[in-house]
Structure 1
Amino acid sequence: MTKLIRKVSLADRIANLLRGEIEEGKYEVGQKLPTEPEMVRIYGVGRSTVREAIRALANIGLLSVQQGSGTYVERQSVSEESMEHRMGRANIRELNEVREILELKIAEKAALNRTDVDLEHMEKYLEQRKFFAQSGDLTNCIEADINFHLAIAKASHNEMLYDMYRAVSAHMKKWFQRNHKDTAPLVESHERHVVLFKCIEAGDALNAWKAIELIIRLI
């Protein structure tokens, strides 16, 4: 049987070398790394290779790149990629699947546990969503949409569900901003959001579940 050998890029090699130096204590937490030209000289590679290596280590939370300031050691080691960074490189299909799983349970719990104050918050953001969607204000419409769903997550009165959804929604928001050219999709989905709100208001967990499924299909 032929064994497949993964080709390691030069950037991967530099990233692994730098990671080893950090883990061995050559660079301490909070310490600024050498500048890009210095690293080009130290490792004998091109700028693009250095940038790619730095980006790879930043993606797993080992480094922090601060524009205009430099690159700093964020932590001494990472046993695995943080969930926040993993979400950051997820594609929309992955994010949407996670979002769907969370929102189905959140809608159910919100319908069962919501308070009058929770409903007031949801309704406020739902009205904002409609106003900004109809007026063509994409930025504020996306913000209102995210806040509406976060209000539902808060109404579940499960802090873990809320925290998980908040992390996912931050990346969904970025995806919406990159991929929506206007508010047309948000106008189209608004009535389904109204149905979702009414189901939660009525304490109808089953139909709140179904309403979320219909909303997610439009994405």
Structure 2
Amino acid sequence: MTQPIKRKSLAEAVADRLQHSIERGVYPLQSKLPAEPELMQQFEVGRSTIREAIKFLTQQGFVSVQQGLGTFVISYVGSNDLDAKIERADFADVFEVRQLLEIKIVEKAAHNRKNIHIEKMTGKLKERKKSGAAGLLKECIAADIAFHTLLAESSGNSILFELYKTLSLHVSKFFEQVYTDTTPFTGSQALHEALLAAVKEKNASKALQLLKKIIGNP
């Protein structure tokens, strides 16, 4: 299923351009960014847009606002706050990374899963099915995300697990914004159950085949 692309606000676009300039060294460390009127003229936007852009850069750890003095560059690379970066990313990019992670996760889960993981995933799929049939969208999404997160945990790779958890928080928000009912989830329930069965059987090739059918759908 084709996912809608998140449109960036004008302030985010300005922040991206300023960030690029900082990363290229146009504004050296400890240097002061141009004053608001100059930035407004440079980007042909209003004062509120500039202030919002500076707020984004501050949150990312690129600049620091000193009251009465101005805005100063404090880092070329920002705070490396992955969660904040994902929050500002186009969802199409987030979804693509999630899909790539899932391919490796399923492959490793089929080899490394433990019985406790199977039990927990079985429970979450039951919740997913029950919520879906009852039309409880929020609960259905929560169960779906929990199932996939447990699958990531069962891979045995803690980095994959942490990355997937972070991405899934944003995927969950996106699902709540986009879907109006549980139909997409009930429609893929059988595939999810078959995927779990393949992981339980430690059949990596079958699990990957099923995942490819699921990818692009909830």
Tell me whether the two structures share a fold, i.e. TM-score over 0.5.
yes
1:5 aligns to what?
Answer: none
Deviations 1:84-131 (A, max 9, x none): 222212223212211111101101111111111010110011100001
The reply on whether 1:191 has 2:217 as its aligned counterpart is no
The reply on whether 1:54 has 2:54 as its aligned counterpart is yes
Secondary structure of the 1:122 match is: helix
Between the aligned partners of 1:178 and 1:133, the Cα distance in structure 2 is: 17
Deviations 1:21-79 (A, max 9, x none): xx6499xxxxxxxxxxxxxxx95676523542234315524589xxxxxxxx9x95351
Q: Give the TM-score normalised by the residue count of structure 1.
A: 0.71
* 8 A Cα contact 2:60 2:81, kept in partner: yes
1:158 aligns to what?
Answer: 157
1:77 aligns to what?
Answer: 75
Give the 3 Å change call, closer, same or farther, for CA 147–51 of structure 1 in structure 2: same
Query: What does 1:63-142 correspond to in 2, within 5 Å?
Result: 76-77=74-75, 79-80=77-78, 82-142=81-141
Secondary structure of the 1:181 match is: coil
The reply on whether 1:145 has 2:137 as its aligned counterpart is no
Secondary structure of the 2:180 match is: coil
In structure 2, runs of 5+ residues without a counterpart are: 1-13, 23-28, 41-45, 65-70
Q: CA RMSD in A?
A: 3.1
In structure 1, runs of 5+ residues without a counterpart are: 1-10, 27-41, 65-72
**Aligned pair count?**
183
* 8 A Cα contact 1:200 1:208, kept in partner: yes
Secondary structure of the 1:218 match is: coil
Using the aligned pairs only, state the percent identity.
34
* 8 A Cα contact 1:126 1:145, kept in partner: yes
2:43 aligns to what?
Answer: none
1:6 aligns to what?
Answer: none
1:218 aligns to what?
Answer: 217
Q: CA deviation at 1:212?
A: 1.2
**Which 4+ stretches in 1 moved above 6 angstroms?**
none
Between the aligned partners of 2:50 and 2:87, the Cα distance in structure 1 is: 21
